[in-house]
Amino acid sequence: MRIVVLDGFTANPGDLSWDEIYRLGETTVYDRTDAKDIVARAKDADAILLNKCPMKKQTMMQLGNLKYIGVLATGYNVVDTAYAKEAGIVVTNIPAYSTASVAQHVFALILEMASHVGVHSQRCLSGAWETSKDFCFWDHPLTELYGKTLGIIGNGAIGQAAGRIASAFGMNVISYSPSKNAPETLEKIYQEADIISLNCPLKEDNKEMISSSSISRMKKGVWIVNTARGGLVNEQDVKDALISGQIGGFAADVVSVEPIKHDNPLLTAPNVILTPHIAWAPLEARKRLIKIAAENLKSFIAGTIVNCVNV
């Protein structure tokens, strides 16, 4: 079994081991691979592991030995799964490895909006507390989460985990899942939530679901947290609503084009917190990811396919 990891740096920048993959066959690991170099590097591979390297039909057609593609993530839109199925190439993904980490990040963002720990720490370190006339001070409004309503859009594993954390803070939780709940529940979230958390996959029918139309139906001053996909949000509409005060705060780990572009409206909007798509990335979650990736490939070699996304 000849195995090529095309872009391993994201999952493992050097603080983890590929040993479980090495044990499964002759393995070559590349930190990053440009699209133009995929064929040259993977021409003899039986199995490819990748994260964001595009695996298009034209590429797969040039990889005569390829039997297996393991995506080192939950999302697998980088692979032409329809052609892979037609060509008899198994495609797997890594489900549910980062549930706890992403739910934790949801609340890292919420707590930063509530308490502004980072800002106040920096003010202390720069001498502002030392020169204060009073024994304490705050430069940003402080908010208690107890009794607030969290509206979760996407009530899967991550949404449910975030809901449990919210309950521990004494918050009220309402949730919406397109596959389980009536559409009226989404309207209830728009109308009643103090904080809205996006935890749903991006699909054609929910692209830019957060836009001027939906924002206008929300509570004035609502906070919005997005750890799902940037395409769920019309970023210019969010900026406009932040300027007007209709949205009180916006915190996101994802944007519409990543890495973020210099002209993204969020970069010049008030009351914004951005992190660079790291909710999934704690050491423990990445260790789990690599372990599942190895188990997926090991099962394939043994003839028992698991976590296949192109059945």
Active site residue ranges: 229, 258, 277
User: Which residue from 250, 188, 185 is spatially nearest to 222, judged by alpha carbons?
Assistant: 250
Quote the CA–CA distance of 27 and 3 in Å, as a whole number. 5
By CB atoms closer than 10 A (0-12, 13-18, 19+), residue 65 is exposed
| Cβ pair 64, 88 in contact under 8 A | no
156 Cβ neighbours under 8 A, 6+ residues apart: 177, 199, 200
Q: Which amino acid is at 129?
A: W
Quote the CA–CA distance of 200 and 286 in Å, as a whole number. 21
Q: How far is CA 89 from CA 52, 115, 127, 236, 303, in A?
A: 18, 50, 60, 41, 13
Two tokens, residue 207: 């692209």
What would the DSSP string read from start to end of 225-270? EE-S-GGGB-HHHHHHHHHHTSEEEEEES--SSSSPPTT-GGGGSS
* Backbone conformation region of residue 303, classed left if phi is above 0, alpha if psi is from -120 to 50, else beta: left
Chain-centroid distance of CA 27 in Å reads 28
Residue 226 phi, psi dihedral angles, 5° rounding = -125, 105
Query: How many residues are listed for the chain in this entry?
Result: 311
Query: Computed over its alpha carbons, how large is the radius of gyration of the chain?
Result: 22
